[in-house]
Chains A and B, each alone.
Chain A
């Protein structure tokens, strides 16, 4: 059986969750002993056939375990799975729920389409992101002062 994350996300707080229904109707058996739940998600733009980092599968397993163990709100499953995958990505540029390699100006600019700002702001942002990706955003040279700067 396949269940879309969208459907899970739509269950309101007042409605009993799907997994609760399923679990309660099956008690006393422990859910994982009678079924295996698999979840998959990859960011938009992630190359087909390219394996996600191992840590993403571990993260997803933890979320599913929590769901089966009735300790995680069903409405949060989709977000938690996405977070687990995104946190595990160890290369490129992640823009919201999209992944790009980050070595091409036009692709970065297109990827910023959902981020608020004028065309000029988006263009300048793309140039700076491209520069940061070329130089390597992960060289550890950021400091706390930079994180506290504000330009509004």
Chain B
């Protein structure tokens, strides 16, 4: 049976008998947006002229880590710029496991969120030798290894040495992908993907 929907001032939704959408008196736009975002956020962004991968990145980020919509909208320009940068990459952070996945995520984080954030992640406690080695490989490739070796066991540093060249290639491909002209993005994406595939081979994680 079809039912209507009511949004109350707290932003909670409930079914209603009459098949209409009801926004109760006193419900702020922020609470309406919060309630509707998951299902109609993409349509809302399209209404603002933001579409495609860029819109998806912005929608996902707000869905995953919601911030007040006033703040969200004020930061939309920078969010759009960041979303465009993220959308250039054919792969996403968190998509891959293992050492290659760790290096991939550090490279992406360093390029998209800033090298300082990635460095903090790289020098934090590691769950395995492979993760430590991956972090050390990224620190070496990014030129951020000075004075950090005490975080890493020698066998992790040794293993990282074998991954360094492929990590550097991936980092260079990422930098190139961000810097390239829009009409050359496709070629740069292929380079990125090839670099990542090569990294997976040297880390022994290639399928």
From 20 to 52 in chain B, residues with beta carbon under 8 angstroms from any chain A beta carbon are 20-41, 43-44, 46-48
A87, A118, A127: the one contacting B48 at CB < 8 Å is: A127
| A23 in the interface (beta carbon within 8 A) | no
**Are A124 and B22 in touch, CB under 8 angstroms?**
no
Task: Tell me the bound Cα distance from A128 to B18 in angstroms.
Answer: 21
**Are A91 and B19 in touch, CB under 8 angstroms?**
yes
With A128-B43, A132-B36, A137-B5 in contact, do A152 and B68 touch (Cβ < 8 Å)? yes
Chain B contact residues, majority secondary structure: mixed
Give 20 new A-B contacts, CB below 8 A, not counting A94-B23, A115-B23: A86-B22, A87-B17, A118-B29, A120-B70, A120-B74, A123-B47, A124-B47, A127-B44, A128-B32, A129-B32, A130-B43, A132-B43, A138-B20, A140-B1, A146-B35, A146-B38, A147-B12, A147-B14, A150-B34, A151-B34
A95, A127, A139, A150: the one contacting B23 at CB < 8 Å is: A95
**B-side interface size class:** 35 or more
| A8 in the interface (beta carbon within 8 A) | no
What is A's interface to B at a CB cutoff of 8 Å?
53, 55, 86-97, 102, 105, 112, 114-118, 120-133, 135, 137-142, 146-152
